[in-house]
Amino acid sequence: MTEAITYAYAVAQDAEGSLEEALSGLPGVADGPVHLVRAGHRGEVVVAVGPVPEQDFEENALRAHLEDLDWLESVARAHHRVIEALAARTTVLPLRLATVYLDDERVRQMLDARQEAFAERLSVLAAHTEWGVKIYVEAPAATDRPAAPPSDADLSPGRAYLSHRKAQRHAREDAYREAEQVAQRVEAAARSYAVDRVQHRVQQGELARGPGENVINDAYLVPLEYGESFRADVLRSAEGLPGVRVEVTGPWAPYSFATPPEAEPLKRAAP
Amino acid sequence: MGDYPSRAGPYSGQGSSANLADILERVLDKGIVIAGDIQINLLDIELLTIKLRLLIASVDKAKEMGIDWWEHDPSLSSRASEGSRSLREENRRLRAEIEALREGEELPRAEDEEEDEDVYEEANEEADEEEAPPAAARRPSHTSRTSRPARTARTKRAEPGPRRKRRDEP
């Protein structure tokens, strides 16, 4: 039997004291249970934590594990699952993956030291959710285009090829131009609901493989009551432009807004 | 808090069905960073995030350049390659002009300029050659490192410099 250490998922507001119940039976990272750590006796700000095996989360092991996509995926999904469960009930500040403490007491000390800052951010984010908006250009690929049109019959093969290439290139350019239009419309639509926005890097790697090329990857902070209108309006922005696809994901817990924009890099917990 | 009744509904949509790239993007790159006791410290996480970007999001350009970044990427648009070439040229020209204006304040005399030009030519061919260059020559030897088109811009500069001076003193 190995020692357990404490994995911290998120900071949350527990005004009604009902969160503990929401977490019961929910499998966390490494299938461990999840519970709350409170500061002092009357804190409404809590940290969701759970035991994880030390052998998997001590420094070297963790570093090695994080390179393992399967391991990483299971931890990431468990982390996300807990945060979603909390977000369904209350306001949360997700912590970054793999924030690990020696024991619950150390988490409590951290919470004591930062309680006010947490409470402040929680009140800003209360009753807001995050929505992801991605725009994809589905530029026609070479294989998507029909064979040379009949008018090309007169042309030599070389010219036919070139004119074909030219047509392809124009189609691509059109698609990018349309994407730009859509981006403007999306932004206008989104701004009428959102209170904040962050721009993420576009997704381009192996995991992001899908139809089209991601050219915009933003997150918006939207008041809870406007969520569905936000989604509908943003999706409507791409209508009529077939080369461009808009994808809306959410609602998310406010991952992208948990740290206030102008926050100083890292305040160490006071000793 | 009473104002969350509608939450359960919308939230059920995300959960386990969410795309892994979207989840990793958020759990690794967003959220609050607090140094825990087990120090996979910030640096490690940064490194990791960089590695993962190879999987998730290897290009930072959208953020840096705004929504029209692909306009400037020659691999994405032929128009862009022309555009960026002329942009590059314009950039060079503007730099040279700024340089010229700056020098115009300090030390431009038509003769100096010519000397300048000569040294520049040499420096351009054998940048290492110069020993104890005259003060005026020092600057060009820096410029020589940029690239040739700068030279044409510099040649132009010889005229506007003095003329501007004259305009300033009616």
Rounded to the nearest angstrom, the gap between the alpha carbon of residue A224 and the centroid of all alpha carbons in its chain is 17
Residue A119, both tokens: 């409470």
Contact call for B57 and A217, based on CB within 8 A: yes
List phi, psi (to 5°) of A157: -55, -40
CA of A156, closest CA in chain B: separation in Å?
A: 24
A247-259 pLDDT, tens digit each: 999 999 999 999 8
The size of the A-B interface in CB pairs under 8 A is 206
Q: Tokens in use for B110?
A: 């038509």
What's the complex ipTM? 0.83
Contacts of B83 in chain A (CB under 8 A): none
- Does the beta carbon of A252 lie under 8 angstroms from any beta carbon of chain B? yes
pLDDT value of residue A191:
93
Which of A29 and A200 is assigned the larger pLDDT? A29
| B1, B16, B31: residue with CB nearest A94 | B31
More confident residue, A164 or A268: A164
Give the residue with greater pLDDT, B28 vs A229.
Answer: A229
d(CA A39, CA A105): 10
pLDDT of residue B159: 40
Alpha-carbon gap: A197 to the closest alpha carbon of chain B (Å): 12
Q: Which of B4, B26, B76 sits opposite A252 (nearest CB)?
A: B26
Rounded CA Rg of chain A: 24
Q: How confident is the model at residue B133 (pLDDT cuts 50, 70, 90)?
A: very low
Distances (CA, A) of A30 to A52, A69, A74, A100, A137: 6, 15, 8, 13, 38
Of A208, A206, A248, the C-alpha closest to A226 is: A248
Chain A residues with CB-CB distance to B44 below 8 A:
63
Scanning A12-71 for CB atoms below 8 A from B yields 13, 15-16, 57-59, 62-63, 66-67, 69
The count of other CB atoms within 10 Å of the CB of residue A103 is 15
Distance CA(A41)–CA(A38), nearest Å, equals 7
**Ranges A55-64, A212-221, A237-246, B107-116: which has the least confidence:** B107-116
Place of tokens 């705004």: B66
Q: What is the pLDDT of residue A171?
A: 82
Q: Please report residues of A whose CB lies closer than 8 A to that of B58.
A: 204-205
Q: What is the pLDDT of residue B154?
A: 39
Minimum-distance CB partner of B27 among A57, A79, A259: A79
SS3 sequence of A90-132: CCEEEEEEEEEECCHHHHHHHHHHHHHHHHHHHHHHCCEEEEE
CA dihedral A249, A255, A257, A260 (to 10 degrees): -170
Dihedral angle sign, alpha carbons of residues B126, B127, B128, B134: positive
Chain A CB contacts of B76 under 8 Å are 172, 176
Which residues in chain A have Cβ-Cβ distances shorter than 8 Å to B1?
13, 15-16, 90, 126
Statement: residue A122 has pLDDT above 90: yes
Residues in A 62-91 with any Cβ partner in B closer than 8 A: 62-63, 66-67, 69, 72-73, 76-77, 79-81, 84, 87-90
